[in-house]
Chains A and B, each alone.
Chain A
Amino acid sequence: MMPNMNMVESVNNALDTMLSKDNNVIMFGEDIGYFGGVFRTCDGLQEKHGKHRVFDSPLSEGGIAATAFGMGINGLRPVVEIQFADYIFPAYDQIVNEMAKVRHRSGGEFWCPVTIRTPAGGGIRGGHHHSQSPEAQFTHTPGLKVVYCSTPYNAKGLLISAVEDNDPVIFFEPKRCYRGPFYGDPHNVPTWSGHPEAEVPESHYSIPLGEARLAMEGDRCTVISWGAMVHVCEQAIRDSGISCDLIDLQTLVPWDREAVVSSIQKTGRCVIVHEAPKTSGFGAEMAASIQERCFWSLESPIERVTGWDTPFPHTTEWDYMPGPDRVAAAIAKTQEN
C-alpha cells in the first residue's frame, strides 16, 4: 500500500527526496525556512536538511531569481519558491532575460538549472493578487520550460523531473488543489484521501517533462487542460455524458503535441480549458497548432473555455472561473456538426 498524500505532502516529499539525493539542491524563498512556507509545502525541510540548504530569503522576488541564477551557473541546483505566482513579476526580468537566455547567450558555456515553484490559480477567495494563473507569460519565452501539476502523484514526479532538468523550469502548483481535487463546486470540498492520484510512492520517481497524462479515455471529444481545471473538466465530462479523452497536459513547454494530435485524430473534436484569461492564453497556441496538424480530422471548430479577459475578482470568483457547466456546454457544442 502506497502512502496517501495530498499535494502539499507530495510536493514536500519531492523536495525532501531531491534534497536527500543531491547535495547541490538548495532551497530558499519567502517564509519557507523556519516556518515551512505559507502553504506548508516546505514544512520540516530546514530542520531535516539544515539551515544552509533550506532558508528564508528577503522579500525580494527579483533577488530570489537573480541569486538562484548565480548559484545555478556556479554548479548548484536551486529550487526557489515565489510565494504566489501573482508576485513573480519583480523577478520577470531575471527569469525572461537572464535565466531563459544564459545558455544561448554564452554559447553554451553557462546554464541555469533552476526550478521556480509557485502556487497559482484561483478558488481561494484571493482576489486580484492571490489568484492569477500566469503560465502564458512564461510559455512565450524561449529557454524556459513550463510545468503545471494537477494531482499529488504528478506533482511529485514532475517536480523531481524539473529539479533534475538542466534548464530553468517554472513549476506551477494549483493552490486550490493542495488539499483536495476541485470539481468546480465551492461547496463540495473533497480531500485527496482515497483518490487514486493520491497514491504517491515515498521513493524517487519521475514523470518526464513534455509528456501529457490521459486522465480519462473516450472517443467523441478531446478535452485538454492543466492545473485545477483538469478536475473541473473531469466533472464536466461526467455531467455531459459524452465520451471524451481528457488530456492533462502537465508540461506546457514543451507540450505533448503527439498525444494531443493522435487523440484529436481519433475524436475529431476538441475543447481547450484554462483558468487564465483567453487572449494570448496558452489555449490559443494549442488551437493554432491543432488546426495545422488536425485540420482534416476536425469535425467541428475548436472550443476554448477560459477565464475572462479581466482581473481576477474576489467575491464573485465563481462567475470568473470556468465551471463544469461552461465546459460541458462547449463539449456539447463540438458535437453539433
Chain B
Amino acid sequence: MSEGNGTDPLHVPDAPHRPGDQAGFVEWPWSPGDLDKPDIDCDAPETASLAEGLVRVLGDDNKASGNWDPELSVEQMISGLEHMMRLRIFDDRMMKMQRTGKLSFYMRSFGEEAVAIAQTMALKNQDWLFPTYRQPGAQFVRGRDMVSMICHCIGNEMDNVKGRQMPVHYTYRDGRFISVSSPVGTQFSQAVGVALASDYKGLDEVTITWIGDGASAEGDYHYALNFASIFQAPVILNVVNNQWAISTHKNFASKNGNFAVRGLPYGIPSIRVDGNDFLALYSVTAWARERASVGLGPTHIEVLTYRAGAHSSSDDPSRYRPSDIHSFWPGGDPIYRLRDHLKEIGEWSDEKHQKLSERIDSEVMAAYKEAVKFGDLANGPYPSSDAIFTEVYENPPWHLEEQWDEMKTWRDS
C-alpha cells in the first residue's frame, strides 16, 4: 500500500469572481505600438512576443497608432461600425422574440461583435468561413439578407436549414459561410481540410475558422494545429478567448491563461490580439491572410475578448459570475471603441450614431415583420416534415422511402 503524501486532494481551479464578489480585472500592461509587425515570412519563434503580448491599435485615448494600424478608410470603418451595430440590434430583437416563443433558442454575440466582422472584412470574398455559433456577424459582411437569417431562426417555411437545426445554426453557401454544427470544436480541424482542398486546387482561397477557449480542450483543436502545421495549410486558426464556456471559466481550459502561445511549439506563427479592437483584429487577420495566400501556411490567433452576455437564452450567468462583470473588461465595448475613434478623428458624432442606430433598428423591425409572414415557431407554418427525409442521402434508399410514406400517413391523417 502507498502512504499518504500529506497534500490536499486534487488541485481544482476556480473562476476569479463568483456572484457577490467585487468584479474587476488587472489593468492591461500592453499598449498600441508596443509590438511591431513582423515580416510575413517570419517563423514561429519570431512571433513569441506577439503571442505573449497583445496586439492593440486603438488606445485608451481613442487614437490609432503603431505599425499594426491597418489605415482603413473612413468608409471602411463606418461600414464595420454599422455591421457591428446591426448585429447587436438584430441580436436584441431576436432575444426578445425568443422570450415570446417565436424561436426555441437564441445566442447573442454581445461584446464580441468585432470578432467575425472585422476578421471577415479583412478577407477576400472567395475565402471560406468556418464559424462557431458566435460568428453570425460574418454573414452581414458577406451580404446575407436579414430576412433569410430570421427565417432560419424562427424555423418557418423559408428556413434554408429546413427546420432541421436549432436557431443560429446558419448555413450560407453563397457567402462561403459553412454550416454551423452544435458539437463544439469540430469545425476547427475540418477547416484545415477546406484550406488544403483550396491549396490542392491551386486557388487563391484562404480558410478562416474559430473555436472557443473552452472548446480548445477538445482534441479537434490539437488535430487542427498539427495538420495545419505539417501540411502548411492556408488557414487562419482563431481561438476566441471570451473567458467562458457556459459556466466554465477559461481557467479550466488553460493553466497559464494564454492560448496564443500554444501555436508556437507546433511551429505556427502565433499572435494574441485585442478582440474588442476592430482595427487590431482587421490588421492581424489581413497579415495572416497574406501569409496564407503566398504559401507561408497557417497563423494561430488568440482573440482576447469577453462574453458580455449569457451563453444562450437557456443560460443565466448571474448564477456563476457577478452580473456586472463585463462592464469592467479592460477591452471595453467593441462598438463604442470604434465609434469613439471615429469621433476622435472628426468623422462621427453622437447625432450620426443615433441616426444610424434608428435606421438599423427600423431595418431589423422591417426584416422581422417580413420574415414572420412566412410563419414562426410558435404559430407555424413550419418547413414541411418531408424535409426530415430529404438530403439524408443524396437519394433516399428504399427504407427511407418506406418510412417517409409511413410518416406522411400519420401526418396527413
Interface residues of A (CB under 8 A from B): 30-31, 33-35, 38, 51-52, 55-63, 86-87, 89-90, 125-130, 278-279, 308-311, 313-316, 319-320, 323, 325-326
Q: Are B181 and A60 in contact (CB under 8 A)?
A: no
* 25 CB < 8 A contacts A-B: A30-B248, A34-B320, A38-B315, A56-B248, A59-B185, A59-B215, A59-B217, A59-B248, A62-B218, A87-B183, A90-B183, A90-B219, A127-B169, A128-B165, A309-B392, A309-B400, A310-B392, A310-B400, A313-B163, A314-B164, A315-B163, A316-B385, A319-B385, A319-B410, A323-B410
Q: Are A60 and B219 in contact (CB under 8 A)?
A: yes
| 20 other A-B residue contacts (CB within 8 Å) besides A59-B212, A319-B385, A326-B410 | A30-B248, A35-B319, A51-B10, A51-B14, A52-B10, A60-B217, A62-B219, A63-B217, A87-B183, A126-B166, A308-B404, A310-B389, A310-B403, A313-B164, A314-B165, A315-B163, A316-B387, A319-B388, A319-B407, A319-B410
Interface residues on B, range: 35 or more
Interface string of B210-226 (1 = CB under 8 A from A): 00101101110000000
Closest chain-B Cβ to A32's Cβ sits at a distance in Å of: 9
Q: Are A129 and B183 in contact (CB under 8 A)?
A: yes
Closest chain-A Cβ to B390's Cβ sits at a distance in Å of: 9
The A contact surface, by secondary structure, is loop
| CB neighbours of A125 from chain B (8 A) | 104-105, 166, 377
Q: Are A308 and B215 in contact (CB under 8 A)?
A: no
Q: Are B383 and A316 in contact (CB under 8 A)?
A: yes
Closest chain-B Cβ to A8's Cβ sits at a distance in Å of: 15
Q: Are B163 and A55 in contact (CB under 8 A)?
A: no
**Cα A314 to Cα B164 with chains together (Å):** 5
Known: A278-B403, A313-B387. A319 touches B183 (CB 8 A): no
Partner of B388, one of A51, A56, A316, A326: A316
**Cα A308 to Cα B320 with chains together (Å):** 39
**Cα A279 to Cα B14 with chains together (Å):** 45
Does B155 lie at the interface of the complex (its beta carbon under 8 Å from any beta carbon of A)? yes
Q: Are A52 and B12 in contact (CB under 8 A)?
A: yes
Q: Which residue of A lies closest to B403 (CB)?
A: A308
Closest chain-B Cβ to A244's Cβ sits at a distance in Å of: 20
The 7 closest A-B pairs by CB, nearest first: A129-B182, A58-B217, A315-B163, A35-B247, A319-B385, A315-B155, A125-B104
**Cα A59 to Cα B410 with chains together (Å):** 40
| CB neighbours of A90 from chain B (8 A) | 183, 218-219
Partner of B252, one of A58, A128, A279, A311: A58
Q: Are B12 and A55 in contact (CB under 8 A)?
A: yes
**Cα A316 to Cα B156 with chains together (Å):** 10
Q: Are B246 and A38 in contact (CB under 8 A)?
A: yes
Q: Are B182 and A130 in contact (CB under 8 A)?
A: yes
| CB neighbours of A326 from chain B (8 A) | 410
Does B253 lie at the interface of the complex (its beta carbon under 8 Å from any beta carbon of A)? yes
Q: Are B218 and A313 in contact (CB under 8 A)?
A: no
Does B352 lie at the interface of the complex (its beta carbon under 8 Å from any beta carbon of A)? no
Interface string of B334-345 (1 = CB under 8 A from A): 000000000000
Closest chain-A Cβ to B352's Cβ sits at a distance in Å of: 40
Partner of A309, one of B163, B181, B315, B399: B399
Q: Are A314 and B104 in contact (CB under 8 A)?
A: yes
Closest chain-B Cβ to A95's Cβ sits at a distance in Å of: 15
**Interface set, chain B 172-206, CB cutoff 8 A to A:** 181-185
**Cα A292 to Cα B200 with chains together (Å):** 55
Q: Are A52 and B246 in contact (CB under 8 A)?
A: no
Closest chain-B Cβ to A42's Cβ sits at a distance in Å of: 11
| CB neighbours of B165 from chain A (8 A) | 127-129, 314
**Cα A308 to Cα B405 with chains together (Å):** 11
| CB neighbours of B262 from chain A (8 A) | none
**Cα A316 to Cα B381 with chains together (Å):** 10
Q: Are A34 and B387 in contact (CB under 8 A)?
A: no
**Cα A320 to Cα B184 with chains together (Å):** 25
Q: Are A311 and B164 in contact (CB under 8 A)?
A: yes
Q: Are A308 and B217 in contact (CB under 8 A)?
A: no
Known: A31-B246, A59-B248, A125-B105. A315 touches B382 (CB 8 A): yes
Interface string of B78-108 (1 = CB under 8 A from A): 0000000000000000000000000011000
Partner of B382, one of A52, A58, A89, A316: A316
Interface string of B370-390 (1 = CB under 8 A from A): 000000010000111101110
**Cα A130 to Cα B166 with chains together (Å):** 9
| CB neighbours of B319 from chain A (8 A) | 35
Q: Are A56 and B252 in contact (CB under 8 A)?
A: yes
Q: Are A34 and B15 in contact (CB under 8 A)?
A: yes
Partner of A129, one of B159, B181, B387, B389: B181
**Cα A123 to Cα B163 with chains together (Å):** 14
Closest chain-A Cβ to B317's Cβ sits at a distance in Å of: 9
**Cα A87 to Cα B182 with chains together (Å):** 9
Closest chain-B Cβ to A102's Cβ sits at a distance in Å of: 21
Q: Which residue of A lies closest to B10 (CB)?
A: A52
Does B245 lie at the interface of the complex (its beta carbon under 8 Å from any beta carbon of A)? yes
**Cα A315 to Cα B156 with chains together (Å):** 8
**Cα A269 to Cα B150 with chains together (Å):** 49
Q: Which residue of A lies closest to B312 (CB)?
A: A38
Partner of B182, one of A62, A86, A309: A86
**Cα A126 to Cα B314 with chains together (Å):** 12
Q: Which residue of A lies closest to B214 (CB)?
A: A59
Closest chain-A Cβ to B386's Cβ sits at a distance in Å of: 9
**Cα A259 to Cα B194 with chains together (Å):** 53
**Cα A330 to Cα B370 with chains together (Å):** 43
Interface string of B114-142 (1 = CB under 8 A from A): 00000000000000000000000000000
